[in-house]
Structure 1
Amino acid sequence: MEEQAVAGKDRRVESLGWLTESSIMPKKKKAIEGVGASSIVELRAQLYRTQEDAKRIKTGDADAVLHRSLKKTDTFYKKNTGVEERANRDKLQLKAETDGSASYAALEKKAQLYEKLARGELSDEDEREKYSVDFLRKGLLEDEFRSLEAEGAGEVAPMQSNEGPTQDSSSIERRSGIGWSSDKAVGISQEHKILVREVNQETIEAREQATLLKQLSNPLKHILKGCKCFHWRIDRKLQGLSLELRLTAQF
């Protein structure tokens, strides 16, 4: 028994190979670019300097230099250039639209333009100032409204025959969709029709005023040109008379 116990102790103490050794081969030392013995020395020197500065700050030395870390800027607080300027411009534009100042300024500009037209100061060659009313667009809108009104009247009118007033099934199906009612035709309400008629009437009146102003401004231009030529001739005659008087006075 004693021999077996001694043999067991010897076996425990005996190295079996896996207690202190490993089957994995050790890795080779990798060389890092830019890091060498000199860089380690510099790192230790910098560490020593920072420790000395910390000691001086704690002791209250006046020559100590306090190095503060830079604050990290959060990416969520970063803004692109011009964002605040655009936001302020949008706010001012929205305020002008709600207050009505933008429409008031447009009406003032339109009134000044019509005053110039009435006085004949706006020439046809001046491209910097143009009409505030798009007459071409209004004319197209008028033609489109007339065509739609004609189509709507043709579809709304009941189909009559010799037997009596009857309606075609196809016309009933076309008028049974969304947007049809007793007061509507082709999806256009009565208020929209009235508005388009008013716009067309204003367009016609504006065209008549523009043609009248052009007719009045053309003879005025010719009269002014004639007056300028007459004044120029009188000035030339006066200059000739003054020259003759000087010559006669000398002789």
Structure 2
Amino acid sequence: MLPRKGKAIEGVDTSSLVGLHAAVYRAQQQRLGQAPRDLPAAASIGRGRDLFATRNRGVDERDERVRESEARAQERAGSSLARKSELYAQLMRGSAAEDALGSAADESLVDWGRKQCARATLVSADMERDAERRAWERDAAAEVERGGPPSAAVERNSSVKRFLDEVVQDTAAERERAAVERTQRDRERATRSELIASKRAALKRARVEAGRATGMQ
């Protein structure tokens, strides 16, 4: 048989029991002739001590080293960028790289001299061929006016002109062939589309006729 649950005493709760124990403790201390001492509160344990105040001794030193390393890397990057910018500016003005920046030009991976020449003579292949054709025509016209035999330059330009004419003819032939092939592909595509459309129409008619036959039955 389980024991009965104890009845609650009216007016007595947990706080009153704690107060009762405290009163009994004080009475016992007075009977023994000792002054009652207050028990230390749990909240006072560890008071005044910040557990998060202490840090690893190496954390601050490591952070300082990281900040110094980042500062040095940023300084090196800035100086390198400034040096490259100065080199580029002076080379664009036409200054000699060796006189302007000494050995800094040797460290550059860009051939600035070639870059300047390429920029100054930046013409397409079509423009070069057109210029050669015009030069040949001028030389040929001058020889005809003088009435003399064609010079070596004219003969050389004549061979160049024949080569250019062949290139133009080959290009035209390739374009014509590509156009013919494109037209043929378009026709084949149109034929396939018409065939597919006719097959779909025939299938649709067959389904309609089959449905009618089923309804008549």
Which TM class, normalised by the smaller chain length?
A: 0.3 to 0.5
**Structure with max Cα Rg:** 2
Q: Which has the higher contact order (CA 8 A, sep 6+)?
A: 1
Q: Which has the higher helix share?
A: 2
